[in-house]
Amino acid sequence: MTPIEKNFPIIQKTFDKEFYLKGEYSEKLQFSDYLLLNWKNNTYIIENPESSHKEAVFPPHPESAYLSSLIPNPTQNQKYFLDVGIGSGILSIDAAKKGWKTIGVDINPKAIKIASINANLNDVHCKFQIDDLARNQKENFFDFCIANLPFEPTPSDKLNFIHSDGGEYGDKLIKEFIPVVENLMKKDGFVILPSFSLFKNNESDLEKHLKGLNKTNFLRAIIRLSQPLELSLLSLRFENSKNAYNYLTKEGYSHFVIDVGMLKKTNEKSEFIGVLYRNNIADRSWIMPLERKCFKKVKH
């Protein structure tokens, strides 16, 4: 067992790549802006993935299924789950079904409304709040947190969805969030941070950032889920041109990796303990499902 696996036992869970293929759009609603999704024996209202307005609510993607697979059942000493960037509320609802007391936050009021409807549809109680990066939550309160924050590199002069705009290099919100969440977590609390991170000189931006957090009480590690990918796989939605990324080198444009930051709260100043490679988990379909293959619209 590696030091990472010893300190982050949840990552030993296996992930079935077919897991996310089981969901399907089972019924169109009266308005074409919304669809019903049946997934893991639950029903969700979600916004049509083709929606193109800035306030669109993030629909389920393969990453949602992977992150769901990392949510453990709470132990006797665990109680509170924090979901930051709730989207349609899928992770909050899954955590609540496993026995967590769940608080989900988002900056988009529309996400709060849709997630609240979905919690009612699935007969679970989740507390949803408008809160920028969970800045207004109780200190030393949470045992487990997933923050699926916007991580698309977004040129400063370009428009992107609220749910995807991560600043010029995609890591703006992650860097802002880590100092906030450190104060929110109990001792031994876990935080999971997915990222689409620039990979240069055999090191990703997220890796550099986590290594540099010398004053933090977080034990840090990374699960690397992909080989380097082209930025275009992620950002075709709002700018189908490499010219939008002139501030990146040609190499940089083609070298983004999918990293998941793993953080564990301790009582002492802690360290970065390395990268665990799971490159077989994420591929092109993780970023932008080809022909929306992770879902199937059912024609009437």
pLDDT computed for residue 296 by the predictor: 35
Q: What is the mean pLDDT of residues 104-119?
A: 96
- 286: Cα within 13 Å, side-chain hemisphere: 23
- pLDDT, one tens digit per residue, over 265-280 is 999 889 999 999 988 7
Q: In the sheet that 42-47 helps form, which strands lie side by side, from edge to edge?
A: 24-28, 34-39, 42-47
Q: Does residue 300 lie in a domain region? A: no
Domain that residue 128 falls in: 3-16+61-289
User: What's 130's domain CATH number?
Assistant: 3.40.50.150
What separation in angstroms does the CA of 189 have from each of 144, 181, 217? 6, 10, 11
pLDDT computed for residue 17 by the predictor: 54
> How buried is residue 158: exposed, middle or buried, by Cβ count under 10 Å (0-12/13-18/19+)?
middle
Mean pLDDT of the chain: 84
pTM of the model: 0.90
- pLDDT, one tens digit per residue, over 23-57 is 444 444 445 678 888 877 888 988 877 777 888 89
Q: Does residue 157 lie in a domain region? A: yes
Q: Does residue 239 lie in a domain region? A: yes
Answer yes or no: is pLDDT of 13 > 80.
no
Question: What is the count of structural domains for the chain?
Answer: 1
Q: Does residue 9 lie in a domain region? A: yes
Q: What is the mean pLDDT of residues 109-134?
A: 96
Q: Does residue 298 lie in a domain region? A: no
Task: Return the CA Rg of the chain.
Answer: 18
Q: Does residue 295 lie in a domain region? A: no
Among residues 138, 131, 135, which one has the least CA distance to residue 115?
131
Q: Does residue 27 lie in a domain region? A: no
- pLDDT, one tens digit per residue, over 71-97 is 999 999 999 999 999 999 999 999 999
Answer yes or no: is pLDDT of 294 > 90.
no
